[in-house]
Amino acid sequence: MQLIRHTSMEYPAAVQEQEQLVAQVLAGEAAGFLVLTEHPPVYTIGTSGTERDILKRHIDGEDIAVYASGRGGEVTYHGPGQLVCYVIADLRAQKDLHRHVWRLEEMIIRTLHDFGLQGSRNPRGIGVWLDMLKIAAVGVRCRKWITYHGIALNIAPNMNHFRGIVTCGMHDQPVTSMQQAGIHVKREEVEPHIIRHAKSLFGNEP
């Protein structure tokens, strides 16, 4: 699995890059990719989402862009202080999207454990939860059994920005971050753990 790291990039550019990476995997030019990045403040609408779930587009003096996304899921937020992990994986040998989502969640659960946090799964929805609050949201798309999009871990984002949407269809706004959980770390400290666990979980595709 090849690593691609961006300091930050606009959401549409990230989607365009992933489309190109999917094409490379389909063509047999690469086995898979892990893309790590952040986005400027943006709300994205998944295939199960609706514009009605966007409540505000201007918060704390910032205009928040809105984009329709081809990923699964509802409406979510991306912004500075959140590490977005896009995993382009080849599932053609084992066509199991549930297993792929499990591995995305597991990558974050193991990373949180490294920092003393007990992340878990929750019947309320996919993603990673911490004390009944969602700390990482999952959204996946699959084309010809090549996955893209992925999972976003809240390290220290502006939590007020989540108030502008019905997060993942949940009106009670059950979201948190590593910072809110008392872990004050920078992205650069988290990335090596993400990379190590990604290689362990995705590095040897069947």
**Catalytic residue positions?**
168
Tokens of 18: 């992933």
8 Å CB contact between 108 and 82: no
C-beta separation of 118 from 64 below 8 A: no
Distance from C-alpha of 103 to C-alpha of 79, rounded to nearest angstrom: 23
Handedness of CA 199, 111, 9, 165 (dihedral sign): positive
CA 145 – CA 97 distance, rounded (Å): 9
E strand or H helix that includes residue 198:
helix 187-202
How far CA 167 is from CA of 55, 106, 134, 200, 202, in Å, comes to: 10, 21, 10, 30, 28
**Buried/exposed code over 47-79 (b: 16+ C-beta within 10 A; e: otherwise):** eebeeebbeeeebeeeebbbeebebbbbbbbbb
